[in-house]
Amino acid sequence: MSHDNSSPDFLQHHFHDVDQQYETAKLGMWAFILTEVLTFGGLFVAYVVYRSWYPEMFVGANLLLDVNKGLLNTIVLITSSLTMVLAVWAIQQKKQKLSLFMLIATFLFAFMFLGIKYLEYSHKFEVGQLPGEYYSYMGPEIAHLNNPHIFFSIYFIMTGLHGLHVAIGMGLIAWLIYATAKGNLHSKYYTPMEMIGIFWHLVDLIWIYLFPLFYLI
Amino acid sequence: MSEHHITPLKTYLVIAGALFCLTAITVWVSYFDFGSLNIIIAMGVATFKATLVALFFMHLLWDDKKNLTMFIMSLMFLGIFITITLLDTGFRGGVNPEVEYPINKRAAFYDSLPLTDTHGNPVDEHGTDSHEGDEDHH
Amino acid sequence: MAENQKQNYLTHPKGIMSWLLTLDHKRIGLMYLFGGIIFFFLGGVLALGMRLELAAPGNDFMSNETYNNVYTLHGAIMIFLFIIPAIPGALGNMLLPLMLGAKDVAFPRLNLASFYIYTLGALFVVYTIIAGGVDTGWTFYTPYSTTSTSNVIPMTMGIFIIGFSSILTGLNFIATIHKMRIPGLTWYKLPLFVWALYGTSLVQITATPVIAITMVLLILERLLGIGIFDPALGGDPVLYQHFFWFYSHPAVYIMILPAFGIISEIIPVHSRKKIWGYKFIAFSTLSIAFIGFLVWGHHMFTSGQSVFSQIVFSFITYFVGIPTGVKIFSWILTMYKGQVSFTPPMLYALSFLFLFTIGGLTGIFLGAVALDIHLHDTYFVVAHFHYVMQGGTIIAFLGGLHHWWPKTMGAMYNQTVASICCLGVFLGFNGTFFPQFLLGLRGMPRRYATYDPQYAELHNYSSFWSGILGLSIFIAIMNLLWSLRKSNKLDPGTNPWGAMTLEWTHTSSPPHPHNFEEEPVLEHGPYDYDKVIVEPTFKK
Amino acid sequence: MDRLTEYLFPKQVSTFAADIDNLFYFIFYSSIALFAIVVFGMVYLAIKYRFKKGDEVRLTSSKDHSNILESLFFIVPLILVSITFVWGIRSYLKMIIVPDDAIEIKVTGQSWFWTFDYPDGGTTLNELVVPSNQPIKIVLSSKDVLHSFFIPVMRTKMDCLPNRYNVMWFDAQQEGVYDIFCTEYCGTGHSQMGAKVIVMKPAQYEAWVADLGSDDEDIPLDELGAKLYTKKACNTCHTLDGSDLVGPSYLQTSQMWGEERVFDDGTSTIIDDNYIRSSILEPQTKIVAGYQGVMPTYQGLLNDRELDALIAFLKSLKEDSQI
């Protein structure tokens, strides 16, 4: 591995220097975050519009969700966000091993999140609280409300898309674990770790909104 | 790369602690009913948490301000999307009232759905009556 | 070094794989151009088929079903596979790094990926055609699109995928423009084409995710009946229209802003004159990009949205008109005290000014709610957006191709043929679409396979001229391709128009594989015709 | 101006048509003025400053702005569009605020015909009858997909949404028969989904309403069938000359009378009175191979005598074609 500062091997040919490369990557990442926010944005619009049309149904239907599981998932995801940011912090401080450990922890928390989500989903599937036409739950607390299937459509699409992001994030973190263990990422070059970190915090940030919107209010 | 800002460990731990506390608060508050304030409180707390994540975990506080601009732009466009859509969906029927609501407020497939208990299993006649009675009120 | 000078990106490196796996923005640009032209041809053939059917009132050439498939595919192919990717994907990719003095775009691998994502999306569209087409109109309005038995899902999947290609290109360009400029190339020294691409890219990354999620919701509506857009399940079709137009109105600016950029390049160069009102043009690009997000509801004036939003949308709509007007006047005044050459690119630019002005002014009619109610979904609208999309974007695209052809391909086409074709396109275009304004005023609805005989004369006239339009565009493109024959190579130092942006002054034609043999040093602004003389050079 | 209006527009029949046409002319003449400036300026500058043969390439003027011109570019269009906006909204409000004394007619769009329900119970298909000089409130909805109800001579149009009402109104000033079009794309029969609006003198209208539904008793069955064929919009999908539209031609069905017909699920049946009757009332149960099952049910839209009439008419086609 070359330690020549003028052209280290991780510098791509079309950049002047590592700083330009790093800042370009970061700006690109933030442009990507913007598109992510607006992708979820469309679903937030659907949520707001239907909530304004069916306020009672939304209040009634969110009581069917399991607050404890939602709360547990929130805590898991915030913790994973912390371990992710600590992984970046550790590699900046040349603590490769600590960084690796933090990445593995992040991965495990992400896995836990999906596990809890799976338990939640399978319960919903059992009782017939399904999206759209497949909805069949007419329990006493909801039978008098109009169109609860729309609430569950939005719930499944939003949390499903979020879950998909968690799964993609897990793939990326797995790759980071591999790259860090091999020594490709180090205190001089950790751009991918920081970028994936930003992505992971976005996943956390979106959950921060989803949790109260679906479980609490 | 050595010149990048390195945040002290303590900052991260404090922020994470604040996030946990705010989560606890928002769950605790949700057990009380403040009417329409419920949404405002929940969204206010969520926005505060999101700001902490964005500024500290995502390093926007120390970053090039272009990145912060990009992020704020995304929220601004989302705000535009929501607000302008609500100008329609929230104000239908202002001139001709028959336009305001759908003709059938409940989708047709509910008519053939049996009532269920809390486990999703169908229950018998007794429930059906209360269902029909309720439907008239909505 | 001497050997190196003869190298250019077209010939070095060699081999098919060196093209398919290239990270060179110029080659990717050419591949986009290739794809775009194929779909332009396909969309054009479909358009001529429609005009043939509409030449007479009855079902003389196509059944209703065929016609509905043809017009849907014409719209979707032209918009999603040609106009949206063509200028940013082809000309933008080709020129942006050259104009900035950079070796490549910021993320070359992403750039290649977005080309292949575009290809994948295009394959879905091709599959749709083979599987029997789709008949919903390119707008996919629910509930027709949720109940239609045609291939809605592959088509919407295709659009979903192409959306990602568009997002990645936009993201790449933004990072490139911010970070890859050579030292000294400040924002106000950028060519206006770069400003235009910047505005376009901002719209691409902001609006496109919404069409992606809309298409996902539409697919889920078909598969699961989620009840968000389908009224039979408690959904609201007007909400679908909000979702759709939140993307598709800004998409109009994805299509037209790069055309503005091309015109802002062609006119000063061929008038050999400093551009009029540089900052006005630059900032009107950004303000159009922004205001474009606030006006989508003017596509929905008869949909039954609230009266309140009708008024708000009509009000904001007019604010798009003002910066656009400023641009048109600036382009015209650029010629003042210049040296105007009537080269093919300039002829296209002048046609653009004529046609786009009509397109823009007829937009004022449609922005007035009361009048729009009469004109909505009639041929007036069809004529209006063809004046903007074809008379604007495609004419500018052809002009841009003719302007940069010697630069990028190192060959000069027959200029007389090109000028005659430009005249043919201009006349054919007006002949085809001007009668449609009259049809619309008289109440002829759009998307009709057959029509009332009272409209026959104007339709017939329109169909006749569409043949001339199609033929002219075809010959114009053939003329370009014919110039690529081996005996027609230009000297690498050629600068036939005497342009002074970096791609003309600091690299050979066609450019070096790494763009510049050494990093260019900025000596003057892009339009300093009052300070520096750049002699046009044209050698074989 | 009148001759221009006659050339450009359909007749002005509703009360607000003239106002809308005038708004058009205001924008039209302003646009022509602006367009003339653009084209004249462009051609003049391009020719005046053209690069002639033998000219030398030289440095050109550095003039690139003029505060006066630039303010004009902002202010003049701003004034014009402000007037247009205010005018557009004022006229629009007139078009949506329904007068109190309006007669309410329900219009239902369905693929691909229009049903009109009158206030005192009568129903017509594809033929809207209204009195002149009387505000008519139209309450629109749709049974399946989006349609849009457009009467060019009234200068008004509104989408029909499923599961929702929309409202429009007009007040016709001239008696006559005028076109109605569907302007929101609704599938195969979209371009055939036309109807007529018949504006009558109020007295005539009264008589027509009183007569609604009571005629047809004394006409022979096959003649009544011929009448119903257009009146009930069968003609939008079924031809009489053997050519295909959305559905099979009546002539073809008539010629196959007594023979076997194959359906898209592989089953088949003999064409007889019962088959025709059930395919009008329950069109979705048996779909002829090669066609899409898009026909709506006519249950409730036809009484028994009318059904018999249609069947008689269909049977008679075979003999007519042999002559």
pLDDT in tens, C120-157: 999 999 999 999 999 999 999 989 999 998 999 999 99
List the Cα angle D170/D172/D175 in 5-degree steps.
Answer: 155
pLDDT at D246 over 80: no
| For residues C257-273, average pLDDT | 96
Which residues of chain D does B103 touch, with a Cβ-Cβ cutoff of 8 Å?
141, 163-165
- Give residue-wise pLDDT tens across range C4-59: 456 889 888 888 889 999 999 999 999 999 999 999 999 999 999 999 999 999 88
Phi-psi category of B8—alpha, beta or left, where left has phi over 0 and alpha has psi -120 to 50? beta
Using a CB–CB cutoff of 8 Å, tell me whether C293 touches chain A. no
Q: Chains A, C: CB contacts under 8 A, how many?
A: 113
Residue B126 has pLDDT above 90, yes or no: no
Give every CB contact of residue C443 below 8 A, 6+ residues apart in sequence: C374, C378, D10, D150, D152, D153, D179, D181
- Which residues lie below 8 Å from residue C426, measured CB to CB, with a gap of 6+? C351, C354, C355
Give this prediction's pTM: 0.91
Mutate to test the interface with D, among C276, C283, C335, C497 (most CBs of D within 10 A): C335
Tens of pLDDT, residue by residue over C450-502, are 999 999 999 999 999 999 999 999 999 999 999 999 888 888 888 999 999 99
- Give D151's strand partners: D156
| Interchain CB distance below 8 Å, C103 and A13 | yes
- Half-sphere exposure at residue D171, Cβ-oriented, CA atoms within 13 angstroms: 15
Whether C322 and D10 lie within 8 Å, measured CB to CB: no
Nearest to C370 among D23, D58, D59 (CB): D23
Whether residues C233 and A149 touch (CB distance < 8 A) is answered with yes
- Which parts of chain A register pLDDT below 50? 1-5
Kindly give the pairing relationship between strand D156-160 and strand D147-151: antiparallel
**In the predicted model, what is the mean pLDDT of chain A?**
92
Pick from C535, C493, C407: which is nearest to C99 by CA?
C407
Asked if the C-beta of C468 comes within 8 angstroms of chain B's C-beta atoms, the answer is no
Task: Domain C14-505: give its CATH code.
Answer: 1.20.210.10
Structure tokens at A118: 């799976």
Pick the residue from chain C with its C-alpha nearest to A43.
C213
The total number of structural domains that make up chain A: 1
Predicted pLDDT of residue D257: 83
The C-alpha of A36 sits at a distance from chain B's nearest C-alpha, in angstroms, of: 9
CA-nearest residue of chain A to B20? A75
Tokens of C31: 């591949």
Q: What is the DSSP string of A181-209?
A: HHT-SBTTB-HHHHHHHHHHHHHHHHHHH
Main-chain dihedrals φ then ψ at residue B12, nearest 5 degrees: -60, -45
Interface contact flag, A132 C205, Cβ < 8 Å: no
Delimit the domains of chain C by residue range.
14-505
Confidence class for position D226, pLDDT limits 50, 70, 90: confident
- Residues of chain C with C-beta less than 8 angstroms from the C-beta of D152: 374, 442-443
**Which of 3.40.50.1980, 3.60.15.10, 1.20.1260.10, 2.60.40.420 is the CATH number of D103-211?**
2.60.40.420
Whether A41 and B54 lie within 8 Å, measured CB to CB: no
Whether residue A100 is contained in a domain is answered as: yes
CATH number at residue A56: 1.20.120.80
**Chain C residues within an 8 Å CB radius of B80:** 293-294
Predicted local confidence at residue B133, as pLDDT: 39
D168 beta partners: D138
Domain span at residue A207? 18-137+145-216
DSSP conformational letter for A134: G
Rounded to whole angstroms, the Cα distance separating A146 from A131 reads 14
- Give the distance from residue D22's alpha carbon to the nearest chain C alpha carbon, in angstroms: 10
Query: Residue C484: its pLDDT value, please?
Result: 93
Domain topology for D221-322: Cytochrome Bc1 Complex; Chain D, domain 2 (1.10.760)
Work out the pLDDT band at C389, boundaries 50, 70, 90: very high
Distance CA C85, CA D197 (A): 46
CB contact under 8 A, D163 and B102: yes
The pLDDT of residue D296 is 78
Q: Given this model, what pLDDT does residue B137 score?
A: 42
Nearest to A146 among B56, B57, B106 (CB): B106
- Report the DSSP beta bridge partners of residue D157: D150
Map out the domains of chain D as residue ranges.
2-49+65-96, 103-211, 221-322
Chain C hits for D91, CB-CB cut-off 8 Å, are 369-371
Give the closest-approach CA distance of A93 to chain B in angstroms.
8
Interface ipTM:
0.91
* Residue B108 Cα, gap to closest chain D Cα (Å): 11
Residues 6+ apart with CB under 8 A from C149: D292
Chains that touch C (3 or more CB pairs under 8 A): A, B, D
Contact between residue A19 and residue A13 where contact means Cβ atoms under 8 Å apart: no
Backbone region of residue B124 per phi and psi (left: phi > 0; alpha: psi in -120 to 50; beta: other values): beta
pLDDT at D298 over 70: yes
Q: Report yes or no on A6 lying in a domain.
A: no
Q: Is C178 on the interface with B (CB under 8 A)?
A: yes
Q: What residues of chain B lie within 8 A of the CB of D166, using their CB? A: 99
Q: State the smallest CA–CA distance between residue B25 and chain C in angstroms.
A: 33
D284 or C352: whose pLDDT is higher?
C352
CA distances from residue C499 to A51, C90, C265, C353 in whole angstroms, order as listed = 57, 20, 9, 21
Hey, are the CB atoms on B74 and A34 less than 8 Å from each other? Answer: yes
Q: Is the pLDDT of residue D213 over 70?
A: no
Tell how strand D135-142 and strand D260-262 pair up: unpaired
Identify the helix (H) or strand (E) that includes residue C205. Answer: helix C192-224
**pLDDT per position as a tens digit, C306-326:** 999 999 999 999 999 899 999
Tokens at residue D268, please?
């088949």
When the pLDDT of each residue in chain C is averaged and rounded to a whole number, the result is: 94
From the options 1.10.287, 3.30.420, 1.25.10, 2.30.30, give the CATH code of D2-49+65-96: 1.10.287
Q: What's the pLDDT band for D250 if we cut at 50, 70, 90?
A: confident
CB–CB contact B74 A33 (8 Å): yes
Task: Please tell me if residue B75 touches chain A, with a CB cutoff of 8 Å.
Answer: yes
